[in-house]
A and B are shown apart, each in its own frame.
Chain A
């Protein structure tokens, strides 16, 4: 089966306040996809980034990673991700650059272009609902992501 050209991975814990905004973003994006967009994009929800996700990147034209970002000013922040080794390589969960570093070593080539979408986030309390500010910021992020899907 052919791999869809676009991949969007969002991660976080739905029970930890604004850590849920990644999965909630993915839910909202899934509902907003048009019939033309759906066949071109895979949506993956994760609790955190794992090394085997490097296999999911294979064959993609572009990849979007979405995570709660307490440093994001405004509704969201956009940045390109480059492969890089960091302390997360010595933990159970990888950073986005470390995931790409695993990809490089595993496949012997550079990964597809990867963009990080940092979603507005403020609080991460266990059992707390997402903050009003983070929830209100989601539609703008979804709108941006719909444009990212169509940007060829």
Chain B
């Protein structure tokens, strides 16, 4: 248990709830308990719904799974599609899949990462960064960005559109495609799609560079705020490329660094994840808390996602993104960067990297021809790990002799980040909450800290929900003291 997770004497404390949290996928709420001196004694991010996707998958034929798991999430279905496919490759004995299949999957994956990062930054995060946390709420959205900065909004939407086209071209459909199958792929890139994607790729790289430049300008405009906001030192876990430790989003080995940047674990086979990671259940939330077994639940929690990946790797193997990574790392003056807002900078570096990778892949003839599937001795148990846009994604299955899935365990990126998100909430609450009243600014600052992780609570807890924002102040007797509501049209109402 970490500081501010559970108050020593919660009986006499005042309870503040932020429910639900907007601009995250799914439904969560934040509660704060404050003492008689108006100091925050407890801060928790709760996940309030649960749906059992693992049970949903059990009993299905294994070949259906890469398609079925896409319905877990409307935001990163391709990551689930590919993680499931990678795992189930072992069931058909495809170790490895043929080069054409590997490259087509990579193209699909980097298209997914790019479009997801574009959605998050331009659609959800940039309004806060461009207009300020305290700006008029009705303006802090993509329409507000389009009004004030039409060029930025248009580039964001067109970048995302390009990523969606990559997914369509490789998966066969705009959503819930079937392109990746256990053992490889079932389609090559069609020449007309190759021409379409090749035509625009340089433009997209330039816009990706513009996106990095934008986030750097925003950082430079308020360095102190960007460096300190939601600052939570954390261990970092991600895949890296075997051998040289390069940034690797599709397939690699697990590396963990401590908060100071020292490597704690390296070259770990992702198939051994159960030896490395355990999940703790807490009674106040449906989302589990993964931690490193070797360090235990108190010290073993870690961060995944762009901020972890960009600092966990030794370098990025594409030149433009590597230049940007160096500048990002240098901004820490020798220290690891842990500020929540730095995640956006790291995310845009990854967006640029993804575009460079796609550009390189589009020069590879294996996308257009070659063997697509492989097979071999069958395995009953299989594990697939991928770096999804939000972080490390683990799919683990057992498949019976009758081809039906008998066990499914998913650890999604947002679950890995559960403790880190809670710590960021605590950091912001401890610094910003005056204990007297919930201001609109405080409410949004807590949300900004959570949103920096781009959490997908739908994936993490398998719930869906989207509602106006409501904050309740409740006394120790449970009586409602005051209520702050943000309506769907952006109006605030205090009762």
B51 touches A50 (CB 8 A): no
CB-CB under 8 A for A101 and B143, given A47-B176, A48-B74, A85-B138: yes
Nearest-neighbor residue (CB-CB) of B462 within chain A: A126
CB-CB under 8 A for A89 and B143, given A50-B160, A52-B164, A106-B157: yes
A71 in the interface (beta carbon within 8 A): no
Per the 8 Å Cβ criterion, residues 63-113 of B in contact with A are 68, 71, 74-75, 77
Query: Which stretch (A13-21, A62-70, A73-81) binds chain B?
Result: A13-21
A112 in the interface (beta carbon within 8 A): no
A91 touches B22 (CB 8 A): yes
Residues of A within 8 A of B467 (CB): 87
B298 in the interface (beta carbon within 8 A): no
A106 touches B74 (CB 8 A): no
B488 touches A86 (CB 8 A): yes
CA distance A14 to B176 in the complex (A): 10
B140 in the interface (beta carbon within 8 A): yes
Number of residues of chain A lying within 8 A (CB) of chain B: 30
Consensus secondary structure, chain B interface: mixed
Contact with B along A84-107 (1 / 0, CB 8 A): 011111111100001001100110
With most chain B CB atoms within 10 A of its CB, the pick from A16, A89, A106 is A89
B174 touches A44 (CB 8 A): yes
User: Which residue in B23, B157, B456 is a CB contact (below 8 Å) of A51?
Assistant: B157
Contact with A along B16-34 (1 / 0, CB 8 A): 0000001111000000000
Contact with A along B452-495 (1 / 0, CB 8 A): 00001000001000111100000000000000001111100000
User: Which residue in A15, A85, A87 is a CB contact (below 8 Å) of B22?
Assistant: A87
Contact with A along B128-153 (1 / 0, CB 8 A): 00000000001011110011001001
CB-CB under 8 A for A106 and B146, given A85-B490, A87-B466: yes
Residue positions of B touching A, CB distance < 8 A: 22-25, 51-53, 56, 68, 71, 74-75, 77, 119, 123-124, 138, 140-143, 146-147, 150, 153-154, 157-158, 160-161, 164, 173-176, 456, 462, 466-469, 486-490
Return 10 A-B CB contacts under 8 Å, by A number: A13-B71, A15-B68, A52-B158, A86-B488, A87-B468, A87-B486, A87-B487, A88-B466, A102-B146, A106-B150
